[in-house]
Amino acid sequence: MTRPSTDAVVIGSGPNGLAAAVTLARAGLEVTVLEAQSVPGGGARTLDSQLADGLRHDLCSAVHPLALASPFFAALDLPARGVDLVVPEVSYAQPLDGGRAAVAYRSLDRTVAELGVDGGAWRDLLAPLVEHERLLTALILGNRRELPPGLLTGPGLRAVAAAVTRLLEQGTPAWNLRFRGGEAPALLTGVAAHSIARLPSLAAAGTALMLATNAHGAGWPVPVGGSQAITAAMIADLEAHGGRVVTDCEVTSWRELPRARTYLADLAPAGLLRIWGDRMRPSVRAALGRFRHGNAAAKVDYVLSGPVPWADERMAGAGTVHVGGSRADMAHAEAQVADGVLPARPMVLFSDPALHDPTREVGGLRPGWAYAHVPAGHPADVTDLVTAQIERFAPGFRDVVVASRCIPAARMAEHDANYVAGDIAAGALSAWGMIARPRLSINPYAAGIPGVYLCSQSTPPGPGVHGMSGWHAARIALRQRFGLPAPSLAP
């Protein structure tokens, strides 16, 4: 039987897969997206929790630090497409023992004022980066092949120099030299821990500086209705330009695919190898086979009867809470994870999206979202550990917990195949890995087979809901396979 044909097939409907599909469809191509799960969106899905009637939980992130900073989403203009992105006044916060906390407001000035002895050091660290947020974000979220306009000007070079010196400071044992108190270093380390890597490290410092800059710039938005709102907006645009999404369609071999002039895979390298490995050059297959995954997250969903009773009342407005204690506490916990040991006090990320989106509350109940950092593939139910960590800084938290459920790291891939062994970053974050992700190549999106491209967060610029990997890969495919320019994304 002759296989049906189309212009382009995208495998995977995560933010990057949909970004690629939208870009291709807007260029006038016939596009089909194939998704293994029953609901599209990958990590940007909001599903019925089945813990309380009508209550929905975000599968992956509930807060999207890069959604407003992303050049792709800026061009697509999510707000114009009905996506309400609420930016909390408190971007993130760090509770500390003794009822204290460190708070990062969107306002840099207010953050500095409340950090006391280290306020000036915080301003010196981040103000030069915030001033050039757009330029630095374009560089960091770039494709590693092109330089953003303005980078080679005097201000651009000064911005890069400021970023590099701060990266070397916070990514090495010199990271404590800047600060005199405990609040500021803990506040910055909580952001660095998003990397799920040893602390300090260059990759963790890069993560901290980028996200902290965005926190004082564009902000860390919470999408009203949950992450699925972003997915729904992209699918609506895709369908408006003739594309379609087919769910419950797992692809295991290239032989199952429709004939197409190009294929883009929003997959981890292991998924790409499973489908096309027998057609790859041995050198490419070997290089992708060496791709290294990082440590993991275990997910805990809570049903809460009210807001979390944080000891410091300023925490009540935080979009994201980094629950890990002091800088030393978090460094110790991440070192244990890297050594394959489940910490008794793991690093926890927590969000109460109903604080900023009242529609998430149903019948007086609200979702509580949490991740705990654990060793790759760990099978433990970490609910008790996460609950104890939050209770440590919010006495009485257990009293507002109505129900809970854990997805252990060992089972995260059942919900998204790219999360191998619970690696939600789809690849270890290291300085070399960010340069040579997924392999050392002039074109990091090329799969080594004509017309086949990798467009997942395993490619530059890496993890996050930003759509940039898909956008970069799609523009290359348009040029190489169709001789077409990148289309406008404007509504």
Q: How far apart are CA 388 and CA 98, in angstroms?
A: 16
Sorted by where each begins, the domain ranges of the chain are 5-47+224-292+416-482
Q: What average pLDDT does range 445-460 have in this prediction?
A: 97
pLDDT grade, residue 466 (50/70/90)?
very high
Contact 266, 470 (CB under 8 A): yes
pLDDT band at 4 (very low <50, low <70, confident <90, very high): low
Farthest CA pair distance, the chain: 73
Q: Which helix or strand (DSSP H or E) is residue 468 part of?
A: helix 468-477
Read off φ and ψ for residue 323, nearest 5 degrees: -105, 95
Q: 177 pLDDT exceeds 60?
A: yes
Q: Hey, what amino acid is at 273?
A: L
Give pLDDT, residue 3.
Answer: 58
Rounded Cα gap, residues 97 and 182, in angstroms:
11
Nearest-5° angle of CA 209, CA 212, CA 216?
Answer: 135
Tell me what percent of the residues of the chain surpass a pLDDT of 90: 96
Handedness of CA 220, 382, 205, 460 (dihedral sign): negative
Q: Extract the tokens encoding 245.
A: 């999404």
Phi, psi angle pair for 264, to nearest 5°: -125, 130
What single letter denotes the amino acid at residue 270? A
Q: What pLDDT, on a 0 to 100 scale, did the predictor assign at position 1?
A: 35
Cα dihedral value 272, 274, 278, 279, nearest 10: -20
pTM of structure:
0.96
Specify the pLDDT at position 173. 96
Mean pLDDT computed over 462-472: 97
Q: Is 467 helix (H, G, I), strand (E, B) or coil?
A: coil
pLDDT at 145 > cutoff 90: no
Query: What CATH code is assigned to 5-47+224-292+416-482?
Result: 3.50.50.60
Residue 150 has pLDDT above 60, yes or no: yes
188-206 pLDDT, tens digit per residue, is 999 999 999 999 999 999 9
Written as one letter, the residue type at 66 is L
In sequence order, which residues have a C-beta less than 8 Å from that of residue 402 and are 6 or more positions away? 52, 302, 303, 304, 305, 365
Looking at the predicted structure, is the pLDDT value of residue 146 above 50?
yes
Rounded to the nearest integer, the mean pLDDT of the chain is: 96
Strands 348-351 and 318-323, sheet pairing: antiparallel
Query: What SS3 class is residue 326?
Result: coil
Backbone angles phi, psi at 86, to 5 degrees: -85, 125
